[in-house]
Amino acid sequence: MKDIVSTKEMLLKAQKEGYAVPAFNIHNLETVQVVVETAAEMRSPVILAGTPSTIKYAGADYLISIASTAARKYDIPIAIHLDHFEDVSLIKNYIDLGFRSSMIDASHEPFEKNIETVKEVVEYAHKSGATVEAELGRLGGQEDDLVVDEKDTMYTNPQSAKEFVERTGIDSLAVAIGTAHGLYKGEPKLDFNRLKEIRELVDVPLVLHGASDVPDELVQKAISLGICKVNVATDLKIPFANAVKNYFLEHPDANDPRKYMVPGKEAMKAIVMHKINVCGSKNRV
């Protein structure tokens, strides 16, 4: 029976063919529905990403069941991914539960400790056929409970990236090249030369975090230089929330979630479609 997949094949295919697979942060049944329905309509592979606080909120067992149901229902590759997990034992538990894609984020640790932590996850995950993403360098901004001050941000060093990938055996590398989680104060400045250098030295798929609020041309340039996975959270949350807020302004007495969720889902769907087009992942399955 068809089920959720790891991100291995879908990212290698994207790398080979020069597009990116979008990873959309989801929070509940409705947000999963929007992402998978839209991806299926557009024939795009897709990654559902859940941060630690999302998994805690929605329940790992509920989320994996919903993702598995989606994978059986639609004829596209669907992965559910543990996003920005810092706790190794939690990742192991969720892999045992059926997750087949994870990010261990030890980017706040010194280089050697980062390698040691990531290696432990890779060894465990690969036994179950699960993939592992890790980050070298440090993105600024806020992703749920993870807040990184601008002074603590650090760009990825290309030589260290090569060593990091070789020594850890990770399946994909999240790079810090100037994006940040959440909204930007000015226009983000991406260090494309750094990305090029990393691409030349590192052979695994590269991941762009913090892709919300980044102009489409910059995301597409990053993809042309080797980014194969593009993470989007904030750009989905804001229009969903705004549409629901507007609905309540227009219908102050509304109380039926089957009604007030609909405009949120529609607003989110438009962004999911747009991001799939930006990633170039349409009609790739």
User: Cβ distance 131 to 111 under 8 Å?
Assistant: no
- Selected binder of ligand 13P within 206, 225, 232, 261 (CB under 6 A): 232
Rounded least distance, CB 213 to ligand 13P, Å: 7
**If binding is defined by CB under 6 A, does position 31 make contact with ligand 13P?**
no
Q: Which is nearer to ligand 13P, 238 or 262 (CB)?
A: 238
**If binding is defined by CB under 6 A, does position 135 make contact with ligand 13P?**
no
Close Cβ partners of 136 (under 8 Å, ≥ 6 residues apart): 107, 114, 156, 157, 160, 161, 164, 173, 174, 175, 176
Rounded least distance, CB 251 to ligand 13P, Å: 29
- Selected binder of ligand 13P within 8, 13, 100, 209 (CB under 6 A): 209
Residue 191: is it exposed, middle or buried by C-beta count within 10 angstroms (0-12/13-18/19+)?
Answer: middle
- Selected binder of ligand 13P within 83, 133, 135, 171 (CB under 6 A): 83
Phi-psi region of 254 (alpha: psi -120 to 50; beta: other; left: phi over 0): beta
Distance CA 60, CA 56 (A): 7
Is 171 a residue of the active site? no
Q: Which is nearer to ligand 13P, 107 or 231 (CB)?
A: 231
**If binding is defined by CB under 6 A, does position 53 make contact with ligand 13P?**
no
**If binding is defined by CB under 6 A, does position 84 make contact with ligand 13P?**
yes
Q: How many residues bind ligand 13P (CB under 6 A)?
A: 15
- Selected binder of ligand 13P within 195, 211, 272, 279 (CB under 6 A): 211
Residue keyed to tokens 């592992």 = 132
- Selected binder of ligand 13P within 25, 38, 102, 114 (CB under 6 A): 25
**If binding is defined by CB under 6 A, does position 212 make contact with ligand 13P?**
yes
- Selected binder of ligand 13P within 27, 181, 269, 275 (CB under 6 A): 181
Give the Å distances, CA to CA, from 104 to 47, 83, 84, 124, 225: 16, 8, 6, 12, 24
**If binding is defined by CB under 6 A, does position 66 make contact with ligand 13P?**
no
**If binding is defined by CB under 6 A, does position 171 make contact with ligand 13P?**
no
How many CB atoms are located within 10 Å of the residue 194 CB? Answer: 20
**If binding is defined by CB under 6 A, does position 160 make contact with ligand 13P?**
no
**If binding is defined by CB under 6 A, does position 182 make contact with ligand 13P?**
yes
Give the Å distances, CA to CA, from 249 to 57, 65, 187, 243: 27, 34, 32, 10
Distance CA 177, CA 188 (A): 10
Q: In whole angstroms, how large is the CA radius of gyration of the chain?
A: 18
User: Cβ distance 66 to 59 under 8 Å?
Assistant: no
Amino acid 55 reads: I
Q: What mask, x for binding ligand 13P by CB under 6 A, covers residues 250 to 279?
A: ------------------------------
Show which residues are catalytic: 83
Query: Which residues in this chain contact ligand 13P in the complex, by CB under 6 A?
Result: 25, 83-84, 143, 181-182, 209-212, 231-235
